[in-house]
Structure 1
Amino acid sequence: MTAAKPYLTGHYTPVADEITATDLTVEGHLPPELTGRLIRNSHNPKPGVTPTHWFKGSGMVHGIRLREGRAEWYRNRWVHTPALDGAPYMTDKGPDLTASTAGTHVIEHAGRLLALCEANLPFELTRDLETVGAHDFNGRLNNAMTAHPKVDPVTGELHFFASSPFPPFLTYYVADAKGEIVHSAEIPGATASLKHDFAITRRHVVFIEGNVTFDHTEHSGIPYSWSDQQPSRIGVMPRGGDGARQIRWFSVEPGNMLHAGNAYEDGQGRIVLEGPTVDREGFQLSWNWWVGAPGRGTEPSTRSYTRRWVIDPAAGTVDEQIIDDLAVEFPTLNEDYLGAEHRYQYAVSLPDQEGFGGYGVVKYDRTTGARRIHQVGDARLPSEAVFVPAAGATNEDDGYLLTVVSDLKQDASQLLVLDASGLDRIATVHLPRRVTAGIHGSWIPDSALDGSES
């Protein structure tokens, strides 16, 4: 029964239809430079469908259109892929890369909106969130695409990868600022380890292989599990044409990281990487929730603590440590600093496995070590906090954090606009329904969509 699956209850209860609402109620003051769209993705199976794993739920995007101090519309749309209508991923001809949930992330690059799921091709959407179809970069991509590509803030290039449980295990791609793939390379030494995210610096690409790896005996529909035999490693590769031949793999402590916070080269030429990680128990607790197995409470992602690795290529060493005892996920930052040393980082705080802590938006000051939390309230779950720079910003944290809060007591949702410098609430946009708790999203300014009028 549907109610037996935790990922179809509470904050994660799917919505049953697509709606459009206009002229949304705003409390407070929406800064006029917030002119664009916040688009968020989520797993939202159709009524009557109970997926075997949370990740198998069909993708639904939720969009909020802001313009010059007004909240003009909210709309939600399923990503209409073949999988939405029941098409299988595996066929007698092999994987169907168009049979995607398209439910993990949504980004903009080169004027295109792309809904992403790491096992498939991206799916292009219109600015009103209708589905255009699978996007294969003019035939240059015949592989799956990670749900966590990186846009270099200096060059505008899109860096991404394809991972597979079978050789070649890892392929790296670069698309230029116009959206054309200009480089691809198979990465030597990679394994079947689950690679959900990665990082770029100004001079390197950083891949992460944890202890979660391909397991053909896992029958949830997502064939991965924890393996003590799978090495936990970080691969460091110079950016550039022949970088793949120079990749070096560094052993690290057991664990698994789904989402990288950022990476950069420090003044000594070392590579610093940060992100929330889980140990074996933490992964199993989350997995039990994702598949609806016994042994887990009502929420995922406990025991997820921020870890820092400092990789010294000259010495061939890695120093690593957990740098915070707060359970967090979904790290974000001012993406003008992606790949460079940053001072501020944001995340969503979560109750730990004992139920301590609570849901909130967290700000870290990496220079002073200070941590600040904006608590969102009881039975209220915030989404990933997306940073938007303020007009005329001079400091790294001059800007806004946008997060969609699911409120179970009110059966409602709001878009919160927080001042990124102090985490004070600036505005609340009341949405016409409770938005299903989801995963990732993006702020897409009108300037990114040429001729945007709707």
Structure 2
Amino acid sequence: MAETAKPYLTGHYTPVPDEITAHGLTVHGAIPPELNGRYFRNGHNPKPGVIPTHWFKGSGMIHGLRLQDGRAEWYRNRWVRTPALDGVPYIGDDGVPDLRVSDAATHVIEHAGRILALQEANLPYELTPDLRTVGAYDFGGKLTSAMTAHPKTDPVTGELHFFGYSPFPPYLTHYVADATGEVVRAQTVDGAGPSLMHDFGLTAHHVIWLDLPVVFDPTEHSGIPYGWSDTHTPRIGVMPRSGPPVVTWYEVEPGALLHVANAYEDERGRIVLSGPRYDRSAWGQTWKWWTGAPGYAPTPIVGATAHRWILDPATAAAREEAVDDLVAEFPTINEDRTGLPHRFGYSVAFPGAGLTEHALVKYDHATGRREVVPMGRDRMPGEAVFVPAAGGTREDDGYLLTVVSDLVADASQLLVLDASAPGAGPLATVDLPRRVPSGIHGSWIADAPDAAHTPSATGTTTLEETS
């Protein structure tokens, strides 16, 4: 198989070769007037001629849209300019990792006025609101490890909880930054690792750690040195958010979990954690796509299905439940419910389990029902980012933002869907000036209430410098 046939460089994932800016985008329908801000989405986009050894090793590119007063003012895409973009190795001649050498390709968030591009083995990279790279950011020297790509903001306190993990001691460090961006807690968490900890859970009173059977494997040469272990005891840990970092571990059945949909404490004081689970076979098939190994599946996600874990401190036991049989990943919720009981969740559904095309799916955990929203032939939606509606009173009063890759039209659109009825069709469709490769995670960054507005030019596209 030719190296250029790596699946993560073809089809919906074919990289774009340059950076452009377009103003005055065409809108079909009506963008809700309260959507004033920026939608940014990150993903792997290696430079032309670069063939990474793993999907996750491709350089980060942010695709951004500016929405204002019902208009789509601009689209722009920019590589995150890190040393890795220019080929600098992560491990130096001295054998020591350089945390600044990041692909910065997994997620992009805003906290305390800073926009950060994230990848979990590295320091975050700060960006400007128009996607220029400022540089590596270490929270004023208080971040001394890598930073997860999946930090959690407490919707009540505004605190940002995050962590760094490593295949070498200390395996796990927990951080808390207050609402102003100041790191107020940094503590080593003993007894975990060296497992792949891509995500974690946050409840009103606890931090939830995942010590599952994908562990450090120095014989894995794809550039991501982790593999499935049949000997590692899979566990989920519960740690109080305040006080010493003492973890209570619950043994669970073997299964990998990359993304946590949510975690919360129920009325009985049990911890409920949910997300898409991979069994050993699903993980192996999925990993083949991510590395382009012989026999890889036709899609990047195989066999991941929605599950729920219930951890009961009264019995010291864990119970696992299958929620659905659709192959689905990239779970999202109304983030105002982070750490709190939630009713609704949203995911990207992949072909499998009777589904023949990509779709969005909405779960109603109160009724057990799901709503599948097909995208159409050769159309793939990205992660659905929830934005609350102004004056909304119900959990699903809001909008879902997703970028769709359309292979037939060789184009992409931003869809704005009613989160309460996503199958009713888009409220608005924004035509983008190019097909956007399918990516990973993104965020809606609302304008500050007093943000100044400067009208943009209309109907122009500009090729940008890429050096």
TM over 0.5: yes
Q: Deviations over 1:259-301 (max 9, x none)?
A: 0000000000000000001011111111101111011233111
Residue 451 of structure 1, CA deviation: 5.2
Secondary structure of 1:275's counterpart equals: strand
**Alpha carbons of structure 1 residues 394 and 318: separation in structure 2 relative to 1, 3 Å:** same
| Amino acid in the other structure paired with 1:46 | K
Number of residue pairs matched? 451
| Amino acid in the other structure paired with 1:159 | H
Whole-angstrom CA distance in 2 between matches of 1:449 and 1:376: 37
Q: Deviations over 1:202-234 (max 9, x none)?
A: 000001121111000111111001111111110
Residue 294 of structure 1 aligns with which residue? 294
| Amino acid in the other structure paired with 1:277 | R
Residue 17 of structure 1 aligns with which residue? 18
Given that residues 357 and 378 in structure 2 are in contact (C-alpha distance below 8 angstroms), is that contact kept between their aligned partners in structure 1?
no
Residue 417 of structure 1 aligns with which residue? 416
Secondary structure of 1:284's counterpart equals: helix
Secondary structure of 2:448's counterpart equals: helix
Secondary structure of 1:91's counterpart equals: coil
Residue 463 of structure 2 aligns with which residue? none
Whole-angstrom CA distance in 2 between matches of 1:452 and 1:250: 51
Residue 226 of structure 1 aligns with which residue? 228
TM-score (norm 2): 0.95
Secondary structure of 1:290's counterpart equals: helix
2:383 matched to 1:381?
A: no
Q: Deviations over 1:14-39 (max 9, x none)?
A: 00000000000000010000110110
Whole-angstrom CA distance in 1 between matches of 2:326 and 2:405: 21
Whole-angstrom CA distance in 2 between matches of 1:448 and 1:212: 44
Residue 333 of structure 1 aligns with which residue? 333
| Amino acid in the other structure paired with 2:54 | H
Residue 97 of structure 1 aligns with which residue? 99
Residue 309 of structure 2 aligns with which residue? 309
Residue 302 of structure 1, CA deviation: 1.3
Residue 174 of structure 1, CA deviation: 0.2
In structure 2, runs of 5+ residues without a counterpart are 457-467
**Alpha carbons of structure 1 residues 9 and 447: separation in structure 2 relative to 1, 3 Å:** same
Whole-angstrom CA distance in 1 between matches of 2:452 and 2:195: 42
What is the 5 A alignment of 1:322-401? 322-352=322-352, 356-401=355-400
Whole-angstrom CA distance in 2 between matches of 1:196 and 1:395: 31
2:168 matched to 1:169?
A: no
| Amino acid in the other structure paired with 2:297 | G
Whole-angstrom CA distance in 2 between matches of 1:302 and 1:71: 35
**Alpha carbons of structure 1 residues 294 and 2: separation in structure 2 relative to 1, 3 Å:** closer
Given that residues 38 and 444 in structure 2 are in contact (C-alpha distance below 8 angstroms), is that contact kept between their aligned partners in structure 1?
yes
Secondary structure of 1:90's counterpart equals: coil
Whole-angstrom CA distance in 2 between matches of 1:296 and 1:193: 24
Residue 263 of structure 1 aligns with which residue? 263
| Amino acid in the other structure paired with 1:241 | G
Given that residues 286 and 297 in structure 2 are in contact (C-alpha distance below 8 angstroms), is that contact kept between their aligned partners in structure 1?
no
The structure 2 residue matched to 1:181, chosen from 183, 186, 197, is 183
**Alpha carbons of structure 1 residues 452 and 317: separation in structure 2 relative to 1, 3 Å:** farther
Residue 465 of structure 2 aligns with which residue? none
Residue 4 of structure 1, CA deviation: 1.8
**Alpha carbons of structure 1 residues 449 and 119: separation in structure 2 relative to 1, 3 Å:** farther
Residue 72 of structure 1 aligns with which residue? 73
Given that residues 399 and 419 in structure 1 are in contact (C-alpha distance below 8 angstroms), is that contact kept between their aligned partners in structure 2?
yes
Give the ranges of 4+ consecutive aligned residues of structure 1 lying more than 2 Å apart after TM superposition: 354-358, 448-454
**Alpha carbons of structure 1 residues 449 and 264: separation in structure 2 relative to 1, 3 Å:** farther
Residue 239 of structure 1 aligns with which residue? 241
Q: Deviations over 1:121-154 (max 9, x none)?
A: 0000000001000000001112100000001111
Residue 127 of structure 2 aligns with which residue? 125
Residue 315 of structure 1, CA deviation: 1.1
Given that residues 274 and 307 in structure 1 are in contact (C-alpha distance below 8 angstroms), is that contact kept between their aligned partners in structure 2?
yes
Residue 440 of structure 1, CA deviation: 0.1
Q: CA RMSD in A?
A: 1.3
Q: Percent identity?
A: 63
Residue 135 of structure 1 aligns with which residue? 137
Whole-angstrom CA distance in 1 between matches of 2:3 and 2:449: 40
| Amino acid in the other structure paired with 1:447 | A
Residue 212 of structure 1 aligns with which residue? 214
Q: Deviations over 1:409-442 (max 9, x none)?
A: 0000000010000112211000000001100000
Residue 358 of structure 1, CA deviation: 2.4
